[in-house]
Every structure is written in structure tokens, then in C-alpha cells.
Amino acid sequence: MILRRAFLFGFVVALALLPLLPVSEFWITQANYIGLYSLVVIGLVLLTGVAGLISFGQSAFVGIGAYTTAYLSIKFGVSPWLTLLAGLAITTVAALVLGWVTLRMSGHYLALATIAWCLALYYLLGNLEPLGKFDGLTGVPSLQLFGFSLDNRRIFYYLVWFLVIAAALMASHLLDSRMGRALRAVRSGTVMAEAMGVNTFRLKVIAFVLAALLASVSGWLYAYFQSTVNPSPFGLSMGIEYLFMAVIGGAGYVWGALAGAGVMPVLHDQLQTWMPRLLGVTGNYEIVVFGVVLVLVLRYARDGLWATVETRLPRVRRRPDWANAGLLAERARPAHGEVVLDAQGLRKTFGGLVAVNDVDLQVRAGEILGLIGPNGAGKSTTFNLLTGVLAVTSGEITLLGESIRGMRSREIARRGVARTFQHVKMLADMTVLENVALGAHLRGTAGTIRGLLRLDRAEERRLFREAESQLRRIGIADLMHEQAGNLSMGTQRLMEIARALCADPTLLLLDEPAAGLRHQEKQALAGVLRQLRSEGLSILLVEHDMDLVMDVTDRIVVMEFGTKLTEGTPAEVQANPAVRTAYLGN
């Protein structure tokens, strides 16, 4: 932590000193460009590296910022503050439209839409009479802020880099916040994030708009810096270059954005000098090298340049500052014995295949219901129907008397249903504590802006306190600073239970929680389940470990071929000959 702080401090000092040193104007200009690129690439890190979405059209957002600024300041003499706001407003509208139209579908539609959008805007700018067609607009007045003129490139430099550092810090803050964790969860697919109550569509749109806004700010600066705009720097090839910088620098790291943006102009320069010498002809040949480098990086070093720096820096261990944090509000518990979940005539067909055939089941408060059956009996499908991952074909599901049929999984999660997954779904590169805190997503309220500005610390402490106490309850609190990907399979399952408990559920659905656990761990798990039951929680348990099932459940539903075979106490089920046949055959 100290080393990292020292690095950042040293970097900022070096940045601040650069214009004071007798470096040539060329390098100052170069540094200004790197700053302008960095702003765009930081946005791409949030979008691509964190949320796993790709945009080739960031240059178009830069163009919107630049053209708005140039047009308003040349034609109407509008102040820089207003040109900035106007650029941001137009950018927001454009990004919202693009995001809203594409982000419900798989990620490549956004990528393709941004290509089309970038081309369309390029030709639009190049053909509009008031915007000077392909010649663009010239004579943007110099930037005046608070009565200061930022005419001088060395002074302009400070503004650019102030904004870059501010953007980088805000992006880092966002990643270490409630919304940031949710955003990272979006990357690996939406099922888990939605089960934690995250509105993944909205979050993707937010990430896209944020990235677009950063690009727009870069465009605002660009217009004043160049004092002239024309369509070519906002075309598709520049959009691709921004993405290139993000990938080379390391799309997963905020500071990788600066690395990528810093390498690019230098690489450009060197290649433009060397390629013609090697080939003996002049031309735009550096793109061949860019292409090859891009393919090689993705093949051999997918995490980019910054990953090599990151592995050399010591891992930051989160300082536990939440010991005295307040407690999160808890939901009212239903009275013991009240029906919590009631599914009647639950049916799911895939084409002609009936996966779940008119199954009835009820879970009462303070009860553990086991759901067992041979492989392929439809247990996991039932789970997915109850949690809204799959839509039911027919039947009714009520939770505490309210119908939850047809609700999305995040709406069901909001009503107090938490679950684990048969195949663990977690964020391998986050710590155990952070993974578990994701479970408490719905118990926090801090949004994107509070996250960016770090106004969410009090709430974060409450979330982490909750996460730690759930880890303690499950018995793996000593692992909380470990990266989740390093845990054993069984421990990862325990972590998922802690994450589910973090949601303060009324009903807990566990999908094979004991798989991969050692005997003692299973006994400890049984203890935890009993304790949860005594606290009034209802649990639906899918499990193959019959010792555990017979040990902890109050009642058991047996399924076979999608149909409910029988239901009863563990003793009744064990004595049932039909169950024996289902498991062992005739």
C-alpha cells in the first residue's frame, strides 16, 4: 500500500515537474496528446476491461465533444463551461440511445453498432455545411477559465493532466465500490449478477455512458488545444486505435490506460521513422505492425503491459476499518411455520421435452426442505424456475403470499430469495471478502456518482462488516483477503453460501453446497444450516450427499424424470421402495 502510494506520488510529482524542465515543446505537445488519449482510454477500461463490452466508436464521442465546443465557441462565443456541458449533454443522449438499443443483447451488437455509429458520424460531420464539411472548423479561441488564459501549452498541460489523474482516481474509486463490484460481475455473464439483485442492463448502459462522457471531455480539451477541428481524428481508425491502447496497456487496469496511451504516440513516431527505412517506401505501414502486435498481445499477454507491473507490485490488502461500522437493516422474519414459498403445478418444457412436470412444493419458515433425485431429474431446472432464471411454462409460484411468477431474478432476489449455484459463479480476481460483499448489493444504496466521488465509505464499511460476519459464521473468515480464484472448490462453495447469506434472505436455495467438501467441513456446514433454521430461515437444499440430506432436512421432495415421486420426512423417504428403485434401479 505504502509502495503504491509512493509510486503514485512520485508519478504525480514527475508529471508536475515536466513542464518546468527545459524539455522541448515537442515533448510537451506529445504529453498533452497522451493525456487526451488517456482520458478516452480510462473510459474504455471501465467499459472493456471491467464490464467486458467493446466500443470502436469512442473517437466519435471525442468528436462530439470537440465539434460542439468548436461550433459554439466560434459561432456564438460561448464560454468553455457551457461548451463542456453542451458536449456532455449531446454525448449522453447519443450514448443512451446506442446503449439502450444494443445492450440487452450480447456484447458484440454494441461493438458493431459503435462501428456503424462512428462511420455515420464521420460522414455526417464531413458533409454538414455549417460544420465546414471535411475541412472542419478553424479558429477556436483559446481556453479561458476563471479569468486565466490557458494559451500556453505548458499551462494547458496542467489542466489536461489534472483531469487525467482525477479521472483515473475516480475510476479506481468506482471499481472499489458497490457499483464497481456489480460492474465487474457483469463481465462473466448476467445470471449471477442478476441473482445478486443487480440490474445488469442498466449497469452496462451506465458504463457505456461514463466511457462516452470521458471521451467527450477529451474532445472538449482537444478543440481548445488544436484550435481547429476536422472529421479525420474522429473516424473509425482512431476509434480502433483507442481500443488498441486499452488492450496494449492492459484493459483490466485503470493505470494500464495511461501506459497504453503513453506507448501509442511513441510507437507511432518510431514506426513512422523506421518502417519506410526498412521497406524503402513511404506510406502508412505502421498499421501492419499495430495489427500484428494486437494479435500477438491477445494471444500471449492478454492482460497487457500493466499486468507485468501489477504482478511486481505488492498486493494491496484491504485495511479492516469496519469493526465499528453500523449494522445493516434486516428484513422482518415470517412467523415460524408460515408458508414462505409455495409452488403449485410447476411445469417447464423445452420444445417437446418436459423438464419439470407439474411439481408442487412448499417451504415453511424455519424449515429445511431437501430436493433430491437422480441426475437429470429436473432439480436444477426447478431451482432456476423458482429464482426466475428460467420462465415457467405453467404453474404458480408465490413467495409469502405474493406471486413471483414471471418476475426477473433480480426482482425475486429483492423479495428475499438468495441462492448458490451448482457450478460456482464468482469473480476469481476479487478477494473473498469482496465477492461476499456483492451478495449485500441490495442492502446498499450508494450509486455510481457516490462511488466515483468516494462518498460511499460509511456504507461500504457496513457492507464489509456484514460480509465479514457472514464469512465468520461459515467459518472461512481467515481467508477473506485471499483471491477467490485461489480457493479450493469446496471453499468456493462455502463462499457462495456466505454471499447468499449477505443478502439477508428469507429463503435460501442451496444447489449442492456439500460437493467437494471434506467430512469435517460437511459437519460444520450441517451445523451452520441448523443454526440458520433456528434463526427462522427457510432453506431449500439440492444435494447428492444423502448423509447430509437425511441429517439436516425436515422434509424431502424426491424428483425423477421431472416428476415429483414422493414427499415426506427423511425416514419416510428412506423407507419408500419407489425411491430406492429410482436410485438403484430394479
Binding site for another protein (CB under 8 A): 48, 52-54, 56, 97-98, 101-102, 104-109, 111-113, 115-117, 119-120, 123-124, 127, 188-191, 201, 240, 243, 247, 279, 281, 283-288, 290-295, 298-299, 302, 425
Q: Helix count (H) and strand count (E) of the chain?
A: 23, 14
Closest separation between CB of residue 108 and another protein, Å?
A: 5
Closest separation between CB of residue 100 and another protein, Å?
A: 8
Closest separation between CB of residue 169 and another protein, Å?
A: 27
Q: Under 8 Å CB-to-CB from 110, ≥6 apart: which residues?
A: 53, 54, 55, 98, 99, 102, 103, 208
Question: HSE of 296 in the Cβ direction (CA atoms, 13 Å)?
Answer: 7
Comparison of 284 and 488: residue with beta carbon closer to another protein: 284
Comparison of 189 and 326: residue with beta carbon closer to another protein: 189
For residues 172 and 282, what is the distance between their CA atoms, to the nearest angstrom? Answer: 42
Between the two ends of the chain, the Cα-to-Cα distance in Å is 64
Closest separation between CB of residue 370 and another protein, Å?
A: 27
Closest separation between CB of residue 493 and another protein, Å?
A: 18
Comparison of 200 and 553: residue with beta carbon closer to another protein: 200
Closest separation between CB of residue 545 and another protein, Å?
A: 26
For residues 238 and 244, what is the distance between their CA atoms, to the nearest angstrom? Answer: 9
Pull the grid cell for residue 160. 489536461
Closest separation between CB of residue 192 and another protein, Å?
A: 8
Long-range contacts of 132-136 (CB under 8 A, 24+ apart): 132/230, 134/230, 134/231, 134/232, 135/230, 136/70, 136/228, 136/229, 136/230, 136/231
Closest separation between CB of residue 53 and another protein, Å?
A: 8
Report in angstroms the alpha-carbon separations of 242 from 28, 66, 146, 290.
21, 16, 32, 12
Closest separation between CB of residue 490 and another protein, Å?
A: 22
Comparison of 14 and 101: residue with beta carbon closer to another protein: 101
Comparison of 9 and 123: residue with beta carbon closer to another protein: 123
The H or E element containing residue 137 is strand 137-138
The H or E element containing residue 500 is helix 489-501
DSSP helix/strand/coil, 555:
strand
Per-residue burial over 288-312, b = 16 or more CB atoms within 10 Å of its CB, e = otherwise: eebeeeeeebeeeeebbbbbeebee
Q: DSSP label at 441?
A: G
DSSP helix/strand/coil, 327:
coil
Comparison of 49 and 444: residue with beta carbon closer to another protein: 49
Positive or negative CA dihedral for 463, 468, 473, 476? positive
Residue 412's nearest CA partner among 444, 371, 442 is 442
Comparison of 143 and 186: residue with beta carbon closer to another protein: 186
Comparison of 52 and 439: residue with beta carbon closer to another protein: 52
Beta bridge partners of 370: 541, 556
Closest separation between CB of residue 194 and another protein, Å?
A: 9
For residues 12 and 8, what is the distance between their CA atoms, to the nearest angstrom? Answer: 6
Comparison of 273 and 569: residue with beta carbon closer to another protein: 273
Comparison of 185 and 369: residue with beta carbon closer to another protein: 185
